[in-house]
Chain A
Amino acid sequence: MSDGMSEFAQPVKAAPDTLLDVNDLVVHFPAGRRGMFGPSSKIHAVDGVSFRVRRGTTFGIVGESGSGKSTTAQAVMRLIPATSGQIVFGGDNIADFRGERLRLARSKFQIVFQDPFSALNPRRRAGELIREPLDLLGIGSPKEREARVRQLLEEVGLPPQAADLFPHQFSGGQRQRLCIARAMAPEPDLIVCDEAVSALDVAIQAQILNLLKKLQRERGLTYIFISHDLGVIQHFCDDIAVMYLGKIVEQAPASVLFSASRHPYSWSLIAAAAPPGPLRDRLKQQYLVKGDPPSPVDPPPGCRFAQRCPFVSERCRVELPILDATVPDHQVACCRSGELEPPRLTETA
């Protein structure tokens, strides 16, 4: 118990087993002015997100589209500029890195995108695509790079002849394997999988998930795994953050989140994804929210979820709840988290 508390109390410098420590990350995009002379609007894509990823584990981010999952991942990858916040990766704040230093640091964190059709250059052969990161980062001699490409193809379950083919000659699952091989090429510590299996058929999805698991076991990889599919998230992740409109509303280990979640939005997601049966019907009736998420442009004060929350009170509309660790390792941002009764998640009524 005391160990858990001290971990939370610790300031910027991370514990030794923490690979990535994101502190108060904010990403705002300009959204024009309201009227010709009005104040300028901002899209609050990511609004003060903090989390830690332990080395060798998988950190899941789940939420609806527009909740800021991908923006968080891309900001952590330094693919889009963060408005403010720290990204401490392996002891260095990479949010401050610029130019050549950032470019070389990129060998340690790589990303796999959702759509393997648009993530691969159609005019280059698979072998070149996988070798490209090695070429750009100057890793190994040309001969070693060729050997590494063959080895990577084998690791992701493709034959060596695949190196000479173009992306259109592969199926969706095989293309995603190529993307994974490319991400693995510079031997990164962290791989971000941004909806990496969402575009694939269920049977292929299982193959790719098993491949990612195998690679993690063999090389101690750390993943940030973004998905909207709770079943996949539960199966794959150690820790899970639930995002809603740019904020983390709940964060807990997988075993806790699906047995004792405490935020009404998590309840809604669980109700929508529960296996069919009387339990699902009951959860849906009580907890499933209606409508679509509101716009992230200049959100109103108060809890972001207040407009759709079935348990909203006056206080929720004015007060922005902070992410609060009521139990070590289990953080919830809800004004009423103490009062609300969590749903019963077992069949027996």
Chain B
Amino acid sequence: MAPVLSVQNLTVSMKGDNSLVPVLENLSFDVAQGKTMALVGESGCGKSMTALAIMRLLPENFIIISGSITLDGEDVLAAAPAKLRGLRGNKMSMIFQEPMTALNPLYTVGDQIGEVLRQHRKLSRRDATEQAVNFLKAVQIPAAERRVHAYPHQLSGGMRQRVMIAMALACRPKLLIADEPTTALDVTVQAQIFDLLSQLQDETETAIVLITHDLGAVAELADDVAVLYAGRCIEQGASREIISHARHPYTRGLMACVPHLQLGPVASNTHGELAEIPGMVPPLGARGSDCAFLPRCAFAGEVCRSHPQPPLDRVDASAAVSCWRHQEIAP
């Protein structure tokens, strides 16, 4: 079966003063129906830019240099504005990180969910509001009949994010892009939102692109994962495989530096030093052709300094990694 979303060799650059600064380089991935693809990395690695490129919502001075994005058989990059309007909200939709700024404070949530239906399904205002109530129920908002007339400021953060999800799923899109959907929320609410997303995915068979820096969320929700570093994909594969056998030093570093909660009677060495990745992501424009992680890498050797960044090397059926020394340094 053809994948719902196919991104091939996507390269995005920012227009500098008199040159092009690469933002994303040669990114490729597929998402199949009902599957979840996670994009992981620190800020400044190009996760959100990937999402905006798929939605064709890139800021003005960012241009797509090469590559293709195919959504359900349609070439997104070649689509005319009218065509794009038909796709956005209908075939692909997006949940943003900050639900307060993503909702219009002057319209009730019912109006905002209904707008999608009126636009794409040509429903009347009354029918759209009726449907909106059903969607609010589907995302488990209590007293949906009353809440449909509420304004965003009258809802809590978790409820707002539920409204965003209801809005995004109103037209049963083929593809849902969730850009850090829970970062602004409390832990207990985060767990609820993740549960809700996976439950709705089971019902609607939507493909999800999940953007996150939370590897716990990846382990729980995602089928596949791509780890981005400085605009390049440095490791890609089935999430189970990557989480249990990360090969790239950056992925390993990311996993080691998160203090994981240990339950039950545990050894008292929890107060030791956390593993840390020294330094920070190189800023835009300061990225050469050699491995972008080189200055921070504890395993860097001569081969890394004398060669450009290697292409993604398929190590087995479900994992690929971009590192010269991944075989030598395997744990």
Contacts and interface: CB of A to CB of B under 8 A. Distances in A.
B225 interface: no
B187 A230 contact: yes
Contact of A275 (B42, B216, B265, B268): B216
Nearest to B274: A206
Interface stretch (B105-113, B256-264, B306-314, B323-331): B256-264
Contacts of B142: 291
A272 B266 contact: no
A225 to B, nearest CB: 12
Given A234-B261, A274-B261, 12 more contacts: A65-B157, A202-B42, A204-B42, A210-B273, A213-B271, A258-B266, A259-B263, A270-B261, A274-B263, A275-B260, A345-B263, A346-B264
Interface string B241-285: 000000000000110011111111110101101111110100000
Nearest to A230: B261
B158 A202 contact: no
A210 B187 contact: no
B199 interface: no
B191 A292 contact: no
B261 A202 contact: no
B191 A288 contact: yes
Contacts of B270: 234-235, 254
B219 interface: yes
B92 to A, nearest CB: 27
A259 B253 contact: no
A270 B274 contact: no
Contact of A231 (B259, B266, B273): B259
B150 to A, nearest CB: 14
Interface residues of A, number: 46
B220 interface: yes
A118 to B, nearest CB: 16
B213 A202 contact: yes
Contact of A232 (B158, B188, B259, B266): B259
Contacts of A292: 156-159, 189
A65 B183 CA distance: 13
Interface string A202-214: 1111110110010
Contact of B259 (A171, A234, A290): A234
Interface residues of B, number: 41
A69 B186 CA distance: 13
Nearest to A280: B220
Nearest to B215: A202
26 contacts: A64-B186, A201-B43, A203-B277, A204-B42, A204-B280, A206-B277, A213-B273, A234-B261, A234-B270, A235-B270, A236-B259, A258-B264, A259-B264, A259-B265, A269-B187, A270-B261, A271-B191, A272-B187, A272-B191, A273-B261, A275-B262, A284-B191, A284-B195, A289-B188, A291-B142, A345-B263
Nearest to B256: A206
Given A258-B262, A259-B264, A203 B253 contact: yes
Interface in A273-300: 273-276, 279-280, 284, 288-292
A209 B259 CA distance: 10
B8 interface: no
A228 interface: yes
